[in-house]
A and B are shown apart, each in its own frame.
Chain A
Amino acid sequence: MNLNPKSNWNLNWKHRVARAGRAAVALAAPLILFSGCASSGVHNPRGVPVTQMKADERGFVAGTGVESQDLVAVTDKMARSILGVPEIANAQGVPRIVLEPVKNETRFPINKDIFLTRIRTELNTKARGKVRFLARENMAVLEKERALKQSGQVTSNSDPNVVEFKGADFFLTGKLQGLTTQTSKGISDYVLYSFQLIDPRTSDIVWEDSAEIKKQGLEDASYR
């Protein structure tokens, strides 16, 4: 037993300092925890380099609306489906198709022509001449060119007075319809993409197919 009072005081002092140290850690830990330093830091403060993605993959920036992966999935399906139609597959000549504007009845403002443009390019690329599309949206320019040829202002390889503009064997058109549900938690959007091939001579719908996509998103509570 150490009876030296000074030595006892030293021991007590060390003990008390150790205890104060432990208290310091105990106090500092929750304070640092609560100070919220980590949450006010910025992830990727220099930004993220541009990420190239495939058009048919869902990116890390996504909403519940019509997106590129939907466009690709829907138009791929439609192009494949059109090629299987007997009127196209077994046609004697090459059927001519005219694109009619798509009707948008969803809640999403979109560039509707993009669907038909992709179906057309898919068919032109993969159908190997089984169908042809008529450039009706360029009629004004085409008529002007024909008039120039007819007046002899420009040369022509064939008789410009013979009408060679082809008529449509089929009209391709589509419709986008939507159903939306919104609650205090979030939103659910369902979009039905339907496309038709119409015979203008008989008004028969010779082909129709559809694709449907449903998306849901939950809102952060601070925006509810």
Chain B
Amino acid sequence: MNLMEQTLKRCLWSLLALAVAVLTSGCASGRTLSATSWVRTGDALVDGRNAISNAPPKDKLLWQCRTAATAMRRGSVLEAKQILDAVILRIEGRFQGDRSARKARSLFGEESKKSFIGEPYERVMAYYYRGVIYWMDGEPDNARACFKSAMLQDSDAEKKEFAADYVLLDYLDGLATSKLAGDGSDSFKRALASAKTVPPPPLDSSANVLFFVEMGRGPTKYATGEYAQELRFRQGHSDSRVARIVVGNQTVIANALDDLSFQATTRGGRVMDHILANKAVFKSTTDTLGNVALISGLILSQNKGTQEAGLGIAAAGLLSKIISSATTPTADTRAWENLPQYLGFASAHLPPGQYSARIEFSDSSASPTARTTRLATFTVTDPRKDIVIFVSDQTQ
């Protein structure tokens, strides 16, 4: 190899090294905030508040959702209300076009770089919690609006038999309609039709104490496939399936009417799954092409007659490998991970007075021992006004 050829080769490799540097350097203008840029205290509510202020903008809504659920369980309803209003505004505004969403679709953009607005089962819960708070505030019509919007999030499932099949959302739509002097029977019929195991309680518009119950830990996400491009849902878990509520001289049962793991896993594929699959094929193809071109090019470059062509092919192969490594088909596994596994509901009709309700969570209504017990005290002043009690067997 003469001096000239060596010089040329060096030039070529320097150029490729420069290209790699350009490709991998990224741009300084991207805002990179570490998820650990705040000090974790171990208190989910405090950490959630800090995360909302300090987490990267793309994760803000995720932290808002998590924090709202914790606030609901801790009884910080006002805080949950404010957070959920912001969450719902963002969800409703998703038709604006989002730069990060567009980037997530590109070959070199990771899906997890897009602004989180959650999968449908997660968005459903944002509306559900806000609906519960509206009812607490004496606005059953706005609560009903939230339950309708929640149901809408689940209405475009690929598998139509699982579209808009939340028992509780239809039931609450019907109950609110009955309480507003409307006819809630159609919604109740839909709730009955969607009930897989236990039917919802009969519509009782005279009931003035409403118990919204949630149990266990809901589904989370993980990814499978050669490049982790396939989004999967890990089933949640709950020791309880039933809440037995003892209040005054009454005992009412809140059964698990909806299962969020079921809801997460029965929607079928997403459009984004096809995009990620295409990215994975592109990544695999460019990688294989790169291997073939690199090896062929290096072999050809050994021969003096084909040296230049060989170097060119090798360079093309290297470029193909670089493009392959820059392609990111990884699925977004960020999840609203403190959602419950089951949603339940019960109601009672109570005359004015002070009450202390004992809520016993167990694995079946026949179970003699409660796994977890919660107490709720409240006062009925006007029997025409609903008292809403939200209870969870989780604290975080």
A interface list, Cβ under 8 A from B: 12-13, 16, 20, 23-24, 27-28, 30-32, 34-37, 39-43, 45, 61-65, 103-110, 112, 180, 182-184, 186-187, 217-224
A27 touches B319 (CB 8 A): yes
Give B91-124 as 1s and 0s: 1 = Cβ < 8 Å from A's Cβ atoms.
Answer: 0111111110111111011010010010000000
How many chain B residues touch A (CB < 8 A): the figure is 63
Least CB distance, B334 to chain A, in whole angstroms? 13
Partner of B326, one of A34, A187, A224: A34
B interface list, Cβ under 8 A from A: 4, 8, 11-12, 15-16, 18-19, 22-23, 25-27, 29-31, 89, 92-99, 101-106, 108-109, 111, 114, 117, 130, 134, 139, 141-146, 148-149, 152, 155-156, 158, 180, 182, 270-272, 275, 312, 315, 319, 322-323, 326
Cβ–Cβ < 8 Å partners of A219 in chain B: 94-95
Least CB distance, B71 to chain A, in whole angstroms? 18
A30 to B322: give the CA distance in the assembly, Å: 11
Least CB distance, B349 to chain A, in whole angstroms? 25
- Given contact pairs A27-B16, A40-B27, A220 touches B101 in the complex (Cβ within 8 A): yes
B275 touches A31 (CB 8 A): no
A224 touches B23 (CB 8 A): no
Chain A residue nearest to B155 in the complex (CB): A182
A-B contact count (CB 8 A): 142
A36 to B94: give the CA distance in the assembly, Å: 24
A42 touches B117 (CB 8 A): no
Least CB distance, A208 to chain B, in whole angstroms? 20
- Given contact pairs A23-B12, A103-B141, A222 touches B23 in the complex (Cβ within 8 A): no
Cβ–Cβ < 8 Å partners of B16 in chain A: 27
Cβ–Cβ < 8 Å partners of A45 in chain B: 29
B12 touches A109 (CB 8 A): no
A199 to B181: give the CA distance in the assembly, Å: 21
Cβ–Cβ < 8 Å partners of A105 in chain B: 141, 144, 182
A63 touches B95 (CB 8 A): yes
7 residue pairs from A and B, CB less than 8 Å apart: A20-B8, A24-B15, A34-B108, A39-B103, A63-B95, A104-B145, A109-B139
Chain B residue nearest to A101 in the complex (CB): B141
Interface centre among A30, A112, A221 (most CB of B within 10 A): A221
Known: A31-B319, A109-B142. 7 other contacts (CB 8 A): A35-B326, A63-B96, A107-B152, A108-B145, A180-B148, A184-B158, A221-B271
A27 touches B141 (CB 8 A): no
